[in-house]
Chain A
Amino acid sequence: MSLIETHQNSQAHASTSSVSAWLTTADHKRVGRLFIGSGLIALLAGLVLAVLIAFERINADSYQILSENSATQVLATARLLLTFGAVIPLLLGLAIAVVPLQLGARSIAFPRLAASGFWMWLTGLGLAIAAIIGNGGPGGGESDLVDLYLASSVLLGLGVLLAAISIVVSVLTNRAPGMGILRAPLFAWSSFVGALALVLAMPVLIGTTIYLYIDHRYARLGFGGNFGVNRWIGWSLSQPFTYLLAIPALGIVLDVVPTMNRSRLAQRPAAFVAIGLVSISVLSAVTQTTVTLPWEGAKFLDNAGDKIADLLPFLLLTVLPVLGLLGILGLSLLTLKSAQPRVAAPLAFVLLGLLGILEGAAAHILSGIEDAGLAGTIYEAGTYVAVTFGTVMIAFGGICYWGPKLWGRNIPDKAAIPLALLGFVATLLGSLPYMVAGFADQPSGLVNGFSYSGPQDLWNIATCGGFVLMLLVTVAFIALALKSFTSGTTAGDDPWDGSTLEWATTSPPPVENFAALAVVGSSSPFADMKSSTSTGKGA
């Protein structure tokens, strides 16, 4: 039973599902689902390419499937698809679909802006992939297609920017009466912080890409032509930029854990601090720098002043985000300790995904210490895989958690929990061997022609196995989600006994979400309502 009245005709209107209705939709739930669906498809494609690359690395003497030129292109495409094709749209999609519901709003701010953001992102991604297929990606030989790749990257970035602006403005202006910004649900808050970080970082990326485009098209004298593309915008496919993308995922963790525990989040104010610590990495993104410790084995007391000057930005940009992630893990465990949690798929996905991100971020600290000698090795790819796969796992958890609200049907826990466990194994298997191989000096960016002492084949076979496993998990998850959301058991309006406003409307919600705005008195307005009703004080 819905606790908030809905418009009488909204249900009928919402059921319109013709192609034109999807193409021209301004309903935030549909735009969010478009982002999520496209993100899952891009994730599949990115993982297939990642498997290809990992397979080629097993035998470093000769190419098995790819050629020398195509390997570089496939490498670039895999990261583009995983980062801008999968992680960003999955989390943006969840935010666009869910955040207005959490805020008790009837719509997202500027719904057409969000919709046009989706179409620009999709067009940009499609053109970028087409350019890469035609040998026009970073380092590609087809000049016109490299231009197309750069122009479509600008389009893709603009699409992400527009969607992010829509989320930021929603959280600032669309909250229900009484919902101060600190009373907003933590997913809404983290989406706000993550989207704001994108608003700050994406224009910098777009500006650099404009320089690259003009230089590549006319001069090729300043930015290194086609080979300079990765050098100048490669930071957007690596750490710490990937931390920014993971910020909304942290809010999913902080919303799912207390709901599964049927309790409130322990030390809620500390969650804001933890998210803030992770978001510090935006400084690194907008300055396009990776901070390192260039101490080169000298004793600490030699030039101690210079060393402290090196240490402070390193601690700020590399170590503090890890402390933020540890804080979120600590708060989650503290909350889970307070009661007996129900073991459900969302909880399994988000906790294991958080461990994956933490593994990657903690390992990234080492790569910044020049004495460790990891610069230019495949170690960086290991940390990237851990952060990216961890974020994807949390996005899967978010789909399991809010899927019943968006599609009106449940994903069965029995089938989904094993996928979460396998996904975690895939994250470890896909990342740790690369990290070990990095210590053995396996070079980054090469898929062939390297040799080092140690069980080289073992590390690359293990990583390939991890990628294959993640691919299988993704295929199985998509199949399960498709089956569940089309013919699964019908979800109630409040299947998780939630505490925030999205659970107060029907599943799926009508077009305008709520007919009447609720008055919010705490960070758990729906839980308050239910408890006052059960004690006989309700309406």
Chain B
Amino acid sequence: MLALPAAPQPAPRRQVFVGTAVAGAAGMMLIGGMMATWLKFRADAPVRESMKRGLIKDWMPEKVIVPEIATNLMLIGFFVVCVMAQWAVYSAKRNDRPHTGLALSVSALMTLAILNAQIFIWTQMGVAARDGAFHSMFYAATGAMMALLLSGLVYTAVAAFRYLGGRSKDVELLSAHALYWYFLTVAFCPVWFIVYVQK
């Protein structure tokens, strides 16, 4: 039987890393598209008189107060998770299992802290989804971001189980995990600025 020339050993594929990059791009498009729609609605909102700020867009109700400490802590939390995820990669490359495990555990813990901050924000703001366009869009945008956050938590758990379960040579998965958190952080920045800072 004829055969094509045998190939040399194939180069490392980094399939998980590339797949994570593509999925991360999709996640950023999701948040980018939602923020674009948010900005359009805010720009189209009618103008009203504010006691404190004069003429403003009638978008977020005046009585709603954003708990800014919690929102800022969320942003800081995302950056901390990035550092932890990268620390896990650094440690894994040096076969340092205890530190890899610690880094992944802190990543998961910080993710839960971010989730907790978001629930606190929802509770404190007291926005009812049925009260208007801002209200429903607020829950849709922040809810979608939280869904992505939860997917990051699952990713952290999978990476931790695989690494600590014995696949200690699989640094690619940890690199991909770190990359995903970079994407999530970049995706959260516009949410933080547009929804919580600019309002």
The distance from the CB of B162 to the nearest CB of chain A, in whole angstroms, is 16
Tell me the complex Cα distance, A107–B7, Å: 17
Tell me the complex Cα distance, A214–B4, Å: 56
Q: What residues on B are CB-neighbors of A113 within 8 Å?
A: 19
The distance from the CB of A174 to the nearest CB of chain B, in whole angstroms, is 7
Which of A3, A113, A210 counts the most B-chain CB atoms under 10 A from its CB?
A210
B55 interface residue, CB < 8 Å from A?
Answer: no
The distance from the CB of B25 to the nearest CB of chain A, in whole angstroms, is 6
Q: Quick check: B26 and A161 within 8 Å, CB to CB? A: yes
Also in contact, A169 and B22, with CB within 8 A (given A177-B8, A211-B137, A539-B3): yes
Q: Quick check: A173 and B29 within 8 Å, CB to CB? A: no
A10 interface residue, CB < 8 Å from B?
Answer: no
Q: Quick check: B14 and A173 within 8 Å, CB to CB? A: yes
Interface of chain B, main secondary structure: helix
Q: Quick check: B30 and A206 within 8 Å, CB to CB? A: yes
Question: Which of B1, B15, B18, B129 interacts with A218 by CB under 8 Å?
Answer: B129
Q: What residues on B are CB-neighbors of A4 within 8 Å?
A: 3-4
Give chain A's interface residue range (CB within 8 Å of chain B): 35 or more
Q: Quick check: B136 and A211 within 8 Å, CB to CB? A: yes
The distance from the CB of A240 to the nearest CB of chain B, in whole angstroms, is 17
Q: How many residues of B contact A (CB 8 A)?
A: 41
A130 interface residue, CB < 8 Å from B?
Answer: no
Q: Quick check: A176 and B33 within 8 Å, CB to CB? A: no
B66 interface residue, CB < 8 Å from A?
Answer: no
Q: What residues on B are CB-neighbors of A210 within 8 Å?
A: 34, 140, 143-144
B2 interface residue, CB < 8 Å from A?
Answer: yes
Which of A165, A211, A217, A529 counts the most B-chain CB atoms under 10 A from its CB?
A211
Tell me the complex Cα distance, A442–B41, Å: 32
Q: Quick check: A165 and B4 within 8 Å, CB to CB? A: no
Tell me the complex Cα distance, A242–B130, Å: 35
Question: Which of A2, A3, A199, A204 interacts with B22 by CB under 8 Å?
Answer: A199
Q: Quick check: B6 and A519 within 8 Å, CB to CB? A: yes
Q: Quick check: B129 and A504 within 8 Å, CB to CB? A: no
Also in contact, A539 and B19, with CB within 8 A (given A161-B26, A210-B140, A211-B136): no
Tell me the complex Cα distance, A203–B36, Å: 13
Q: What residues on B are CB-neighbors of A219 within 8 Å?
A: 129-133, 135-136
> 15 A-B contacts, Cβ less than 8 Å apart?
A165-B19, A177-B7, A203-B27, A206-B30, A207-B37, A211-B136, A211-B140, A214-B136, A219-B131, A286-B33, A516-B7, A517-B6, A519-B8, A525-B4, A539-B5
- What 8 A-B pairs are tightest by C-beta distance, nearest first? A222-B133, A204-B33, A203-B30, A518-B4, A218-B129, A203-B29, A517-B7, A207-B34
Contacts A203-B27, A210-B140 known; list 15 others, CB within 8 Å.
A3-B1, A3-B4, A5-B1, A169-B19, A172-B18, A207-B29, A208-B34, A214-B137, A215-B137, A215-B140, A219-B130, A517-B6, A518-B4, A519-B8, A539-B3
